[in-house]
Structure 1
Amino acid sequence: MEQLGDYLVRRLVGEGGMGKVYEGEERLSKRRVALKVLHPELARSETGRKLFVNEMQILAHLEHPNVVRSLASIEANGQLAMVLEFLDGRTLRTVLGEEGRLPWAEAIRIVAAVASALSAAHGQEPPIIHRDLKPENIMILTDGTVKVMDFGIAKMLQAMNQTNTQSVGTLQYMSPEQIDARTIDHRADLYALGLVFYELLAGKPPFSSASPRQLLNLQCTAEPPPLEADVRSGLPKGVEQLVFQLLEKAPEDRPYFAQDVVDRLEPFQVAAPAPARTSPGRMSSHGATTPHQKSPTPRTIPEGPAPSDEGKPAARSSDPRSDRQSDEAKAPRRENAGAGARKDTIALVDQVDQGREVPMKVAVGIIVGLSLLAGLGAYLVRSTQAAEDPASTGAPTATATATATTKNTATGKVRGR
C-alpha cells in the first residue's frame, strides 16, 4: 500500500489485533502523520467496524493539549483509517526504565497534565472513562508535553467480550472496583492515577507480585506502603496526602473530580522549577502542556494544600495516613454520587466478592491478552533522536492510541456502561 486517500504511506511502524499503523505524509501539505488502518477482516465485521468508528468519533471530539490528537478519518481503497498526530518522544514507562524515580516537581507536572486530560474526558457527553491508565499509555514528548493515549481500550475489549461478570484492565493498574467487576465510574481512573503518581515518586509501584492472584489481593485489600523517608523528606506538605487519597479502596473516599487533583497540585507547579527538556529548543506544533484547563462540570472545589513557607517541606508524622486523616477532618466531605513485578497484560477476571481474598478460581481464570494489548495499544514511531541518528539504539519511541465512549445513567451521574 503506497497511498491511502490523500496520504502517502511511508512505512509500517506497528501491527496488532485491531490493525496496522503506518508513518505517513499528507500529499499536499507534506505533514507527517500516523495512519491507523483497521484490519480488513475486522472491517468486514459489524462489531469491529463499529468499535473503530466509535473510536474515530470520540477522538475527533476530545480536543485537549494532553490527549493525542485526531486529524482526520478516511475510508479509501476499501480501507478504514484514522489519521493521528505523529508524536516524538518516550512513553512514561521508558522514562521510568531509563531514569528511575523522578524529581517531585517533574512528577507533579506530569500527574497534573494527565489529570487535566482525564478531566476533559470525564466531562464529555457521554463521559469517557479510560479504564487502562498506566505509564505505557502516557507519552512525554521531546519538548516536555504530556500526552495521554488509548482512552477506552479496556472498554472496547469489554464490549467485544459481551459479559458483565468480567472486568478488564492491566493488573498492575486496576482499581478494586474493576477487579470486583462492579459498575465503575470515572473515579477508577483516579485510582490508576494514584498508582502512577506513587510510582513516579517511589520509582516502583506500591503493589507488586509475581503471582497475579496475590497482586489482585493486594490491590483490593492492602494499604499502600509509605514512601521512603528520603522521598518524603523532600515533598511539599500535601502532596503525599493526595497520593494516598487517590489510592483509597472505596471510590467515595477518593477526590471526586480529576480537576480537583489539578487544582490541588497547582500551587506546587507554580513554585516548581521548569522541567528538563529532552530536546531543548524543539517545541511541539501542538503546544505545551496546559494542566490547568478546567472541567466543564460546575462544582465547588475544596481548598487544596498550600506550600510551606519559602517552598520548604513542612514537618509531618511518620505515617502519611495520619496526616491524611487530619486533613480530611478539616476538609468538607463530598457525597457519593455513584454507586516489583509489572503486569503488562489485559486480564479478564471473574467477579470477586468485595471484602474477601480473591478466590483461586479468579487467578486460574486470568487470561493473558498481550496480543490484544498490542492490537489496541501503542504503536512505535521513529523519534527525533532516531531521525537525526539512525544508528542510535536508545532512541525514544512515540505512541498513538484509541478511545471509546461510555454512557450516562438516567440519574446523570458519571458512570461506566
Structure 2
Amino acid sequence: MTAHDTGPFSGRLSELIGQQIAGYRIEREIGRGGMAVVYRARDLRLDRTVALKLLAPELARNDTFRRRFTHESRVAAAIDHPHIVPIFEAGETGGVLYIAMRYVAGRDLRHLLDQEGPLTPTVAARIAAQVASALDAAHDHGLVHRDVKPGNILVAKGTDSDHPEHVYLTDFGLTKKSLSLTGFTTVGQFVGTLDYVAPEQIAGRPVDGRCDVYSLACVVHETMAGGPPFQRDDDMALLWAHQYDQPSPLTEQRPDIAPEVDGVLAKALAKSPEARYGSCLEFVAALRAAASGPGPGPAGHPPTQVDLRVVGVPEAPGAPPEPPDWARPVFVH
C-alpha cells in the first residue's frame, strides 16, 4: 500500500482487525489468490470462527458469474461430506461476493510436505483416500474441482491412532467453472495450477471428474517423490509435458516403493481421460493395492505418521500482510 492511497483504509492493515463485513468480524488474513482473499473471522451472530473468502468486485459486476456463483454455492453447500469444508453462507455486500466456510485449524498439504518431506505410501494413500472421497462426492453432485493441489488440501489432527490425520478439501470450483464461462479467462488460458493441471484443461476441452483424477495423481506423486511428476524450466515446457511427455517412474526416485505403484500412477496420469481410472476412489484403491505389494522397503524410509502436533496458523507477531485494494471498501467499523 502506497502513501497516495485514499479511502478509509489507507493506513496499515492492523487497523482492519476487529472491523466487520456482513456480520463477520475480521481477525486476520489466512490466504489469498489472484481473485480472492481469505480471512479468519468471527461470526457475530453464532459466535464461531469462520474462514471468510472475499472475491474481487469485477466478478460481482458480471451477471453471468453472479448467477453461476449463486447456483454453485448452493450446490456446494448442499454437499454434506466429512472431507469437504462446509460452506455456511454465500452472498454479496458492498459490491463484493463472499463465502463463509468452516475454519480448519490445520496445515495445508503444501506446508506439511515442505516441513516433513516425502511421505510413505501408507501416509500418502491415507491422505489421498480422504481427498478422493471428497472429490467423488462432489462429482456425484455435478461439481468438478479443477484445481486439486497441495495448497487446497488441509490436514488437521485426526481422532485417534487409527485416524491420525483428518483431511479436508477446500476451494471447490465455485468460481473456476464460472470464470471460464464468463470471459475472465481468455482464449488459450485455463483455470488451474500448472503443476497439477490435466491435459484436457490445457487444450480447452470439456472436463469431468477424470480431470480431478489426473490432478490428484500429480499430488500423490508429489507426496511420495517430493515434487510433481513434471518439472520444467518454464511454463510452456510444463504445459507441453502435461500434454505429450510421459512421467518418469516414481521408483526412480523412491526405490523403496513397490514397482506396481508406477503402473497405477501411469494410468491415473494418462493423457486421455478415457484411459484413466473412472473415479478418484478407484485410483486410490489401486494405489493401496499396489503399495502393499512386494517392494524393497529398505530400513530408514519415512515414518508412517506425520507430525501434526503443531496445527493452525501461528499467531506471529508483527503487522499482517496488506489487503488487496479492492477489498478495502467493504470493511466497516
Structure 1 length as normaliser, TM-score? 0.60
C-alpha change, 1:165 and 1:39, in structure 2 (3 Å) is closer
Specify the code of the residue in structure 2 equivalent to 1:220.
Q
* In the alignment, structure 1 residue 137 sits paired with structure 2 residue 152: yes
Instruction: Find the partner of 1:96 among 74, 91, 113.
Output: 113
Mapped to 1, the partners of 2:206 and 2:65 lie a distance apart of: 24
Deviation at 1:27, TM superposition (A): 2.6
Q: How does 1:113-152 map to 2 (within 5 A)?
A: 113-124=130-141, 127-143=142-158, 144-152=165-173
Query: Aligned letter for 2:20?
Result: Q
Q: Which moved more, 1:242-251 or 1:66-75?
A: 66-75
Any unmatched runs of 5+ in structure 1? 281-382, 393-417
Partner deviation per Cα, 1:347-372 (whole Å, 9 max, x = no partner): xxxxxxxxxxxxxxxxxxxxxxxxxx
Partner in structure 1 of residue 272 of structure 2: 250
CA contact (8 A) 2:260 2:291 kept: no
Amino acid at match of 1:147: Y
Structure 2 letter corresponding to 1:175: A
1:105, 1:268 within 8 Å by CA — same for their partners in 2? no
Aligned to 1:177: 200
Q: Within 2, Cα distance between the matches of 1:228 and 1:68? A: 34
d(CA) in 1 for partners of 2:281 and 2:28? 39
Counterparts in 2 of 1:8-157, with a 5 A limit?
A: 8-14=25-31, 18-27=35-44, 29-40=46-57, 42-74=59-91, 80-124=97-141, 127-143=142-158, 144-152=165-173, 153-157=175-179
State whether residues 42 and 48 of structure 2, in contact with CA within 8 Å, keep that contact through their aligned partners in structure 1: yes
- Whether the 8 Å CA contact 2:261–2:291 is kept in 1: the answer is no
Give the distance between the partners of 1:17 and 1:174, measured in 2 at CA: 17
* Partner deviation per Cα, 1:241-300 (whole Å, 9 max, x = no partner): 2222101122221111223124435668999x97335128xxxxxxxxxxxxxxxxxxxx
Distance of 1:20 and 1:85 partners within structure 2: 15
Q: For 2:182, what is the secondary structure of its paired residue?
A: helix
User: 1:109 touches 1:269 (CA, 8 Å); kept in 2?
Assistant: no
- Letter paired with 2:146: R
Tell me, yes or no, if the aligned pair for 2:200 and 2:211 is still in contact at 8 Å: yes
Tell me the CA shift for residue 26 of structure 1: 2.6
Q: Residues 182 and 7 of structure 1: is their aligned pair in 2 closer, same or farther, counting only changes over 3 Å?
A: closer
Which letter maps to 1:59?
Answer: A
Match of 2:254 among 209, 228, 231: 231
Paired with 1:95 and 1:59, the residues of 2 have a C-alpha distance of 26
Equivalent of 1:386 in 292, 297, 314 = 314
Query: Do the aligned partners of residues 276 and 174 (structure 1) sit closer, same or farther apart at CA in structure 2, a change above 3 Å counting?
Result: closer
- Structure with the bigger RCO (C-alpha within 8 Å, sep 6+) is 1
CA distance in 2, matches of 1:47, 1:116: 30
Residue 231 of structure 1 aligns to a residue whose secondary structure is coil
CA distance in 2, matches of 1:217, 1:243: 19
- Output one character per residue of 1:15-72: Cα deviation in whole Å (capped at 9) or x when no partner: 5554443322233543111222344554344244334323421321122111111122
Counterparts of 1:289-368 in structure 2 under 5 Å? none
The DSSP-based 3-state class of the residue aligned with 1:219 is helix
Q: Does 1:210 align with 2:228?
A: no
Partner amino acid, structure 1, of 2:227: K
Q: Secondary structure at the match of 2:314?
A: helix
The structure-2 alpha-carbon separation of the partners of 1:267 and 1:227, relative to structure 1 and needing over 3 Å to count, comes to closer
Which amino acid is the alignment partner of residue 168 of structure 2?
A: K
- Inter-partner Cα distance in structure 2 for 1:54 and 1:188: 22
107 and 45 in structure 1: CA distance in 2 versus 1, 3 angstrom threshold: same
1:366-400 deviation per Cα after TM superposition (whole angstroms, max 9, x unaligned): xxxxxxxxxxxxxxxxx63614xx459xxxxxxxx
CA contact (8 A) 1:68 1:147 kept: yes
Q: Quote the residue 2:245 is aligned against.
A: 222
Per the alignment, residue 189 of structure 1 pairs with 212
Q: Does the C-alpha gap of structure 1 residues 244 and 32 become closer, same or farther in structure 2, counting only changes over 3 Å?
A: same
Deviations 1:113-163 (A, max 9, x none): 111111101111xx1111121112212124421111222243232123278
Q: 1:17 to 1:45 in 2, by over 3 A?
A: farther
The number of equivalent residue pairs is 284
What 5-or-longer segments of structure 2 have no aligned partner?
Answer: 1-15, 159-164, 294-302, 319-333
Secondary structure of the residue aligned to 2:42 is: strand
Identity level (%): 35
| CA displacement, residues 309-347 of structure 1 (integer Å, 9 cap, x when unaligned) | xxxxxxxxxxxxxxxxxxxxxxxxxxxxxxxxxxxxxxx
